[in-house]
Amino acid sequence: MIREANEEDLDALLELYLDLHERSVPEHDERLWDAWARILADPDHHLIVCEEDGRIVSSCVCVVIPNLTRGVRPYAFVENVVTQADARGRGYATACLDHARMLARRAGCYKMMLLTGSHDPETLDFYRHAGYNSTDKTAFIQWL
């Protein structure tokens, strides 16, 4: 089942992010609770989860960003695409990305962008099969 995250999903998501790149679950302090509240309250911030048998097995974030170009059409940014290691290859992340595309279309977005730090050919092929390409734009990152 694909849905947007709700208040009760925080701990499951933090555990899932250990399969992304996190090394530990962050402390449940004021900073974490403030970030969680802001994410849940923002109508343009979509934290999409895929649930199977009551367990969150995959997720991605889709943020719709207002824009003054391209006919004042927004664009969407996809981040934190992850599937639990023991659940990969079953279409869960694809379902999350399909839901993100539906949300972006519904919002009138003219494009979706996705960055990955992975150089794994399987991961890159997965994104290509999901409709993304790496030829139209050049990405630059400045770590702060």
End-to-end CA gap in the chain: 36
In angstroms, the CA 32 to CA 26 distance is: 8
For the full predicted model, state whether its pTM sits above 0.75. Answer: yes
The reported pLDDT for the residue numbered 21 is 87
Does residue 99 fall inside a structural domain?
yes
Inter-residue contact 17 to 80 (CB < 8 Å): yes
Position 37 scores a pLDDT of: 98
pLDDT of amino acid 4: 98
For residue 104, the enclosing domain spans 2-130
**Rounded Cα gap, residues 123 and 116, in angstroms:** 9
pLDDT at residue 22 in the model: 86
Would you say residue 135 lies in a domain?
Answer: no
Helices (H), the chain: 10-16, 30-41, 92-106, 121-129
Residue 140 domain-assigned (yes or no): no
Cβ neighbours of 60 (radius 10 Å) = 22
pLDDT in tens, the chain (144 residues): 999 999 999 999 999 999 988 889 999 999 999 999 999 999 999 999 999 999 999 999 999 999 999 999 999 999 999 999 999 999 999 999 999 999 999 999 999 999 998 899 999 999 999 999 999 998 888 999
Which CATH number belongs to the domain containing residue 35 in this structure? 3.40.630.30
Cβ 40 vs Cβ 8: under 8 Å: no
- Could you tell me if residue 137 is inside a domain? no
What is the domain count for the chain?
1
Pairing label, strands 2-4, 45-52:
antiparallel
Asked, for residue 143, whether it belongs to a domain, the answer is no
